[in-house]
Amino acid sequence: MRHNPANPARVTLAGHGDARMVMDNRNARRTPESCLVLMFKAPGRSKRRLAAAIGPLASIVAEHLWSCALEDVAAWPGPVCFAPAGEADGEWAAERMDRCDAVVLQRGSNLGERINHVNGVLRSRGFQRQIFIGIDCPELHARYLNEAADALDNHDAVFGPAHDGGVVLMGARRKWPDLGDLAWSSANLMAELERSCTDHGWKTARLAALADIDTLGDLDAFGRTVPGDPRPARRALGAWLANDGQRFKRQL
């Protein structure tokens, strides 16, 4: 997307306390469609479980996963929000965002609280329908995201389960219930999310399960399936796994 210097839209990052960050928003668009929310950390601070096993190679993996997530963002027809975990993550991403309708800094002591915070800020800005993703699932594709958006026409929440019991996607057309007490990073997360919503009288939908990348085994499994994916960032990750990534396979 091209930036119009004569009429730059501006987006304020809602940070901690009085901390504010402001950045240009290129060709910002507002539609009644679902807002795709990308929750992320800069690659050097993410994938800590992988880092414990493969060290600095985990940052390379995270860079590739970030590129895959940007492909998903670029293909999304509606508004997009970037939700960095902290100001340093937002500054890292600022020059890497080709399109952006809103940026909201995460705030909270766990992922549930951070999602609640981002959800509330975006709703106050007019984004009532929101679909949350991270960078952990390169199996995501445009059809899957569109299915999630369509589900919100008739459901209050939609979930994309992960094979390990977590989620790769979660969307809602209402304000999320309190998510802070859920068992994040556990095999029970998907079930707890659904129960939390149904306890509040919500109607929920569930998409097909996908694999996310948290462990060496996940990474190896993705490397065996990616050759059929035509998207450039996925092919680049597959090529790295087939070459430089061989260094970690002896640890499997």
The Cα–Cα gap between 110 and 243 comes to 36
Q: What angle do CA 245, 231, 104 make, to 5 degrees?
A: 90
pTM, two decimals, is: 0.86
Q: What is the pLDDT of residues 88-129, one digit of tens each?
A: 999 999 988 888 999 999 999 999 999 999 999 999 999 999
DSSP designation for 177: P
Q: Residue 64 contacts by C-beta under 8 Å, 6 or more apart in sequence?
A: 138, 233, 236, 237, 240
The Cα–Cα gap between 43 and 174 comes to 31
pLDDT value at residue 131: 98
Q: Which domains does the chain have, with CATH numbers?
A: 9-244 (3.90.550.10)
Q: What is the mean pLDDT of residues 15-37?
A: 49
DSSP labels for 89-138?
Answer: HHHHHHTT-S--SEEB---SSSHHHHHHHHHHHHHHTT--SEEEE-SS-T
The Cα–Cα gap between 176 and 202 comes to 10
Q: What is the pLDDT of residues 116-174, one digit of tens each?
A: 999 999 999 999 999 999 999 999 999 999 999 999 999 999 999 999 999 999 999 99
The Cα–Cα gap between 222 and 224 comes to 5
Counting Cβ atoms within 10 Å, is residue 174 exposed (0-12), middle (13-18) or buried (19+)?
middle
The Cα–Cα gap between 59 and 105 comes to 22
Torsion, CA 106, CA 150, CA 169, CA 161, rounded to 10? 150
